[in-house]
Structure 1
Amino acid sequence: MKVKWKYSYLKKDMDAIEHTLRQLVTTEQPILHAASLKLLEAGGKRFRPVFVILGAKFGKYQLQSIKNVAATLELIHMASLVHDDVIDEAKLRRGKETINEEHGNKIAMYAGDFLFARALESMSEIEESKAHQRLADTILEVCLGEIEQIKDKYNFKQNLRCYLRRIKRKTALLISASCEIGAIASGAELKFQTVLKKYGYYLGMSYQIMDDILDFTSSDKELGKPAGSDLLQGNITLPVLFAMENPTLHEKIIKVNENTSVEYMKSLIEDIKKSGSIDRARDISDRYLDKALSSIKDLPKGEAKSMLITIAKNIGKRKS
């Protein structure tokens, strides 16, 4: 689901944001510049900038200021990916070597910190204090989510509540903030800010659950990394939680560690796919999507609302 190319009427705005991102990752330090630029050029869906734009469409839309907000949210997302890869000791992202694999953990961590700093610098041009407060709250929650993910690695005793809290902090809150901060920065009415915040949260929860499903159902090529990587790295996702309700699968799953063989993982992935846990996880994702769609029913009609609806409907169909 390549959002940035899918909707032609946003192309001019997205091109301006892309240019801003390229400027922000530019630095005279060659290694830092190369590492940050590599991550930027690896692509991605630019989901968060799209939601900043759409949120801003419900107020007085001005690209000059909104592009900085959009760049800020994308840079925070990029920084979190760098830190994630270090924590997970990931070798591939989107089919290419991670920064930590190419440059080592120290450079990768500083690259993540650099992107965070650039994000705050970009946001400094926005005068609305509420937008800054929401951004600060979101970054704090993302950091807490990172700690929880580390703490819960290979914790096969965690429950559904732990998982939902983790993906809320890992993914949903940043998407929610993108929608809301876009609306705040454009001076949209408070009721629209609230609605967009809810929409982003519900959509973000669904999006992450689908990501966790795709880790088992997509090919290595589609994922840009080996299928089952989340489980192999100790991240217990919703399909795994449901699969572990089966005693036989439970015993197979709890044996997984970072040294588990490719053959064992392939066999386990097939068992999980046959267990019905994928369908159960998809049902939970669909429930969040229904809530997302319901939350925006009272937004004014127009292209922005239509796109929010279209994106939500496409989340459940995505294959990458």
Structure 2
Amino acid sequence: MDLKTLYAPVARDLADVETNFNELADYWKAEFPELHDMLRHILVGGKILRPALTFMAGRCIDGQSKKILNMATANELMHIATLVHDDAIDRADTRRGRLTVNKLWGTEKAILLGDFLFARASEFAASTDNLRVTKLFSQTLGIIAVGELRQARDIYSSDQGMEKYLQRIAGKTAALLKMSAESGAILAGGNEAQIEALAGYGYNLGMAFQIVDDILDFIGTEAELGKPVGSDLRQGTVTLPALLLIQKHPSDNPVSDFLAGKDREGNIARAIKLIKSEGLIEESYKLAESFSGKAISLLEGLPDNACRRGLSALADYLVRRRN
């Protein structure tokens, strides 16, 4: 099963998000062509996971709800804004094989574009006229910012531990997926038990998603990832497989040596080899699968319909993907 099949129940809704993106870009075509070009570049393509979650969560409860579109758009714009800022901070030249905004237009303009996208995302969230989801949007943005600050604080540090790692990815990834599902449930008129279940589903899905991302950074190919293998570690970020290697060999491991500035290319190669050969990939997948399983179990009390079944299949798919 592929994403197109998984998203089929909300395909028309996702097309409406694309229409919102096109209208946002085209608004600036005559007045500010450069902004139009930047928006066209960054809003094209993508997996649209977050708006799909928003629609599917809402349609688990109310199959006819029309209130979700602007929040789904807001969720994806927030995500895209964080990617633009991440690429600028990391000085990344490409993302998934495409040139980044900062590579094409410069770091300063990339940061400003990210700010613009956050602002427009906030407008879309506010246009739902629902104070609860507007507040949730603001809270989530704060959580993501703190998550990024935690990552910046811990850069090139081998003194992290599992608790810090999980805390970081909860803020970096899980918070936005939680908001995506939770906001859909709220706007569809779900009761508190349904809202809580879908919020928990989004959180656990986000944790599993990020752990798999961190695994793929070591076992994927550059063609699949759109970036060099081991990119996170090269940038000084210790993810789960590298953390497990440090824990297994606390006094002598290539990750700690790399972070200390010793023979970086050689230690990257050794780290990748050891992570693959010592069962750490399998151990990492077990943790991802535990979060995915928890996400699926939280759906049990919801109405049995195509979107609930789609969310269950999505949780299974995301721990088996290759990019």
Q: TM-score range by the shorter chain?
A: over 0.9
TM-score, normalization: structure 2?
0.92
Q: Is the 8 A contact 2:178 2:199 kept in 1?
A: yes
Displaced runs of 4 or more, over 4 A: 61-64, 257-264
Structure 2 unaligned residues grouped into runs of 5+: none
Return the offset for 1:8: 2.6
2:218 corresponds, among 197, 213, 216, to 216
Return the offset for 1:262: 5.2
Q: Is the 8 A contact 1:54 1:308 kept in 2?
A: yes
Return the offset for 1:124: 2.4
- In structure 2, what residue type is equivalent to 1:127? D
1:285 alignment partner in structure 2: 288
2:186 alignment partner in structure 1: 184
Q: Distance in 2 between matches of 1:84 and 1:207?
A: 18
Q: Is the 8 A contact 2:9 2:306 kept in 1?
A: no
Q: Is the 8 A contact 2:59 2:65 kept in 1?
A: no
2:321 alignment partner in structure 1: 318
Partner of 2:257, secondary structure, is coil
Partner of 1:57, secondary structure, is helix
Q: Is the 8 A contact 2:6 2:310 kept in 1?
A: no
Q: 1:271 to 1:249 in 2, by over 3 A?
A: farther
Q: Distance in 1 between matches of 2:180 and 2:7?
A: 18
Partner of 2:11, secondary structure, is helix
Question: Deviations for 1:259-281, whole angstroms, at most 9, x for unmatched residues?
Answer: 97656533431222112211111
Q: Distance in 2 between matches of 1:6 and 1:72?
A: 21
Q: Is the 8 A contact 1:58 1:188 kept in 2?
A: no
Residues 1-320 of structure 1: matches in 2 within 5 Å?
3-4=3-4, 6-26=6-26, 27=28, 28-41=31-44, 43-61=45-63, 64-247=66-249, 250-256=252-258, 265-320=268-323
- In structure 2, what residue type is equivalent to 1:134? L
Q: Distance in 1 between matches of 2:223 and 2:59?
A: 36
Report the identity percentage.
35
Q: Is the 8 A contact 1:87 1:150 kept in 2?
A: no
Question: Deviations for 1:178-228, whole angstroms, at most 9, x for unmatched residues?
Answer: 001011112122211111000111111001000000001110000011111
Return the offset for 1:23: 1.7
Q: Is the 8 A contact 2:6 2:313 kept in 1?
A: no
- In structure 2, what residue type is equivalent to 1:229? S
Q: 1:12 to 1:213 in 2, by over 3 A?
A: same
Partner of 1:245, secondary structure, is helix
Q: Distance in 1 between matches of 2:99 and 2:50?
A: 23
Return the offset for 1:4: 4.5
Count of matched residue pairs: 319
Q: Distance in 2 between matches of 1:78 and 1:259?
A: 35
Deviates more, 1:74-83 or 1:84-93: 84-93
Return the offset for 1:87: 1.9
Return the offset for 1:248: 8.1
Structure 1 unaligned residues grouped into runs of 5+: none
Q: 1:59 to 1:237 in 2, by over 3 A?
A: same
Deviates more, 1:266-275 or 1:114-123: 266-275
